[in-house]
């Protein structure tokens, strides 16, 4: 042990987390909107008992585990893909993404033309379904007789299998259909994440960056947590609230042992000198003097005896109290 009582710190905020690929070493995901980062280390203990009274002679610790949970306030498709182990793709014109749409349509009271106009073009080779909305009740839907031969947003009512003759009475209907999106446009950017039965979340190098409040200096020191091999848990839950409450996306993982036996590492970077405001062991830089008439000299203050050591840097001012440029000094 380096100290019998070290510097005291307070945890004041969450970590920013980066996940790195174990093979390529590239960062694959970065989280800077987390609400919680927690680390739990556990171990089991086996008691060895014997002798008169069968008392405990020794306790042997084993089966160490390090579990991690980090909750993200903001979801991205990339983070959801890392969590689920799913396949993420962007729509292209040759490999379009199929979206499903449901919308209300009000039919005109005119008897002609008896057609519906959709907000988007129903995709080629798909069916369109329509159901009447009457007194808040949605009737059983009826379908087009045949699949659409071309992409279109205009459909004749007569093409539906069991659509009654409206005789110009109009009405409100709900229409169900599919449409396609290809390459991203200024208005839309389609993405699709597919979770497969035989693919799960992977194992990554985990690095969490945060700060701890230094009780002695009154400043924040850098604190870093590394898990060389973190196996993400593939279980997930997605809750969507009607009350517009922020949904937390929770990630869980378990530290795996490396070949060297490492499971988790903690690193602390203490700020010394002027970066901390109070020195923790090295000389503290300070300006001795005034910026008004008396040149200010940079000195180092010894934290033990308070002695001053000039660094050679001075900051004289001219008659207008402006710093003197080096060339004119």
Average pLDDT, integer, range 192-220: 91
Query: What does the alpha-carbon distance between residue 67 and residue 256 come to, in Å, rounded to a whole number?
Result: 10
Residue 1 in this model has a pLDDT that exceeds 50: no
Looking at 239, 269, 299, the residue that finishes a domain is 269
Contact 180, 114 (CB under 8 A): no
Give residue 262's pLDDT. 94
What do you get for the CA distance between the two ends of the chain, in Å? 51
Q: Tokens representing 47?
A: 């008691």
Asked if the structure places residue 56 within a domain, the reply is: no
Are residues 125 and 200 located together in one domain of the fold? no
Q: Which of 56-65, 127-136, 276-285 has the lowest mean pLDDT?
A: 276-285
**Is residue 52 classed exposed, middle or buried when 0-12, 13-18 and 19+ CB atoms within 10 A define those classes?**
exposed
Asked if the structure places residue 2 within a domain, the reply is: no
Asked if the structure places residue 254 within a domain, the reply is: yes
What pLDDT digit, counting tens, does each position of 296-316 carry?
667 777 767 778 888 777 665
CA neighbor of 17 nearest in space, from 6, 4, 3, 29: 29
Are residues 14 and 143 located together in one domain of the fold? no
* 23 cis-preceded (ω within 30 degrees of 0): no
Give residue 119's pLDDT. 92
Average pLDDT, integer, range 190-212: 92
Give residue 19's pLDDT. 94
User: By residue range, what is the domain housing residue 217?
Assistant: 9-43+62-86+196-269
Are residues 105 and 230 located together in one domain of the fold? no
Give residue 274's pLDDT. 47
Are residues 201 and 258 located together in one domain of the fold? yes
Q: Tokens representing 328?
A: 């004119």
Give residue 36's pLDDT. 84
Are residues 70 and 214 located together in one domain of the fold? yes
Asked if the structure places residue 38 within a domain, the reply is: yes
Give residue 208's pLDDT. 94
Asked if the structure places residue 145 within a domain, the reply is: yes
Asked if the structure places residue 251 within a domain, the reply is: yes
Are residues 210 and 79 located together in one domain of the fold? yes
Triad 8, 10, 13: Cα angle to 5° = 150
Query: What does the alpha-carbon distance between residue 52 and residue 174 come to, in Å, rounded to a whole number?
Result: 82
Q: Tokens representing 305?
A: 């005896």
Average pLDDT, integer, range 37-55: 92
Looking at 134, 154, 181, the residue that finishes a domain is 181
Domain count across the chain: 3
Are residues 104 and 174 located together in one domain of the fold? yes
Are residues 227 and 79 located together in one domain of the fold? yes
Would the pTM of this model clear 0.75, i.e. be above it? no
Give residue 110's pLDDT. 65
Q: Tokens representing 166?
A: 């409206």
Give residue 221's pLDDT. 92
DSSP 154-218: EEEGGGBTTPPP-TT--EEEEEEEEEEE-S--SS---EEEE--TT----EEEEEEEEEEEETTTS
**Per-chain mean pLDDT for the chain:** 83
């Amino acid at each position: 042990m380096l100290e019998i009582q070290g510097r005291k710190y307070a945890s004041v905020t969450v970590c920013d987390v980066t996940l790195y690929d174990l093979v390529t070493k590239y960062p694959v995901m970065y989280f800077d909107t987390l609400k919680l980062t927690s680390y739990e280390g556990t171990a089991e203990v086996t008691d060895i008992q014997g002798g008169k009274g069968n008392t405990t002679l020794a306790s042997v610790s084993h089966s160490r585990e390090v579990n991690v949970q980090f909750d993200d306030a903001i979801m991205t498709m990339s983070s959801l893909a890392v969590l689920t182990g799913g396949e993420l793709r962007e729509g292209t014109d040759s490999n379009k993404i199929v979206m499903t749409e449901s919308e209300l349509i009000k039919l005109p009271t005119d008897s002609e033309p008896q057609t519906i106009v959709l907000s988007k073009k129903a995709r080629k080779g798909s069916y369109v379904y329509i159901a009447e909305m009457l007194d808040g009740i949605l009737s059983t839907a009826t379908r087009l007789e045949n699949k659409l031969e071309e992409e279109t947003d205009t459909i004749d009512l007569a093409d539906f299998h069991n659509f009654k003759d409206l005789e110009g009475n109009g009405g409100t209907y709900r229409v169900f259909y599919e449409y396609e999106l290809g390459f991203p446009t200024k208005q839309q950017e389609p993405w699709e994440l597919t979770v497969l039965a035989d693919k799960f979340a992977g194992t990554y190098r985990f690095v969490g960056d945060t700060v701890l409040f230094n009780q002695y200096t009154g400043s924040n020191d850098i604190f870093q947590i590394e898990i060389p091999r973190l196996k993400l848990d593939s279980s997930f839950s997605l809750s969507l609230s009607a009350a517009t409450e922020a949904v937390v996306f929770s990630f869980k993982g378990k530290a795996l042992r490396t070949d060297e036996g490492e499971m988790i590492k903690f690193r602390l970077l203490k700020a010394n000198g002027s970066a901390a405001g109070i020195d923790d062991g090295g000389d503290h830089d300070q300006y001795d003097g005034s910026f008004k008439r008396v040149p200010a000299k940079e000195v180092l203050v010894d934290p033990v005896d308070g002695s001053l050591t000039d660094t050679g840097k001075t900051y004289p001012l001219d008659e207008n109290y402006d710093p003197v440029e080096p060339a004119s000094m």
